[in-house]
Amino acid sequence: MEIYKFILENGNLVIINSLDNSVIWQGKPNNSIVKQIVELPEMEMCIVLLDPDQRKGTFRNLIAMDTNGYILWKAELPDPLGGDVYLDVSLQDDFLVAHSWSGFKVIIDTKSGRILSKKFTK
């Protein structure tokens, strides 16, 4: 049984202890609206996509959070000096896959947030 649950609720991330349904952490990471989450229960963490429209310019908006609400990493961007941001994220065959504003489809290491591979899609 999974002890921790990550829930997206009205732009907030809510982390719940399933054993007693207590809220461990809730809020907007980096003061940004949460657009999407991907739970990784085996790693007791959650990938959080912050709303790309929240900030102008380069915005490292793909982050990993642990069950206490701490940010573990911010994902590397494929074009960090070009005002880049992530637009979506998904888990495909245990790989974290995301699209960037700069036109890349990237695979990201869930342990570090580093880009493992990238393809230019335009």
Using CB under 8 A as the binding rule, whether residue 88 contacts another protein is answered as: yes
| Pairing, β 86-92 against β 95-100 | antiparallel
Which of these ranges, 9-17, 26-34, 36-44, 80-88, lies near another protein under the rule CB under 8 A? 80-88
Q: Is 112 in the site for another protein (CB under 8 A)?
A: no
Q: Is 57 in the site for another protein (CB under 8 A)?
A: yes
Does residue 64 contact residue 46 with C-beta atoms inside 8 Å? yes
Show contacts with another protein in window 4-23 (CB under 8 A): none
Of the ranges 5-13, 21-29, 36-44, 55-63, which one interacts with another protein (CB under 8 A)?
55-63
53 binds another protein (CB under 8 A): yes
Closest listed residue to residue 24, CA positions, set 91, 69, 72: 69
Q: Which of 48, 62, 85, 89 binds another protein (CB under 8 A)?
A: 85
CA distances from 36 to 60, 82, 107 (A): 14, 23, 17
The burial class, CB within 10 Å (0-12 / 13-18 / 19+), for 2 is: exposed
Number of residues written out for the chain: 122
Contact indicator for 47, 61 with CB cutoff of 8 Å? no
Can residue 122 be called a binding residue for another protein (CB under 8 A)?
yes
* Chain residues in the site for another protein (CB under 8 A): 52-53, 56-58, 60, 76-83, 85, 87-88, 99-105, 119-122
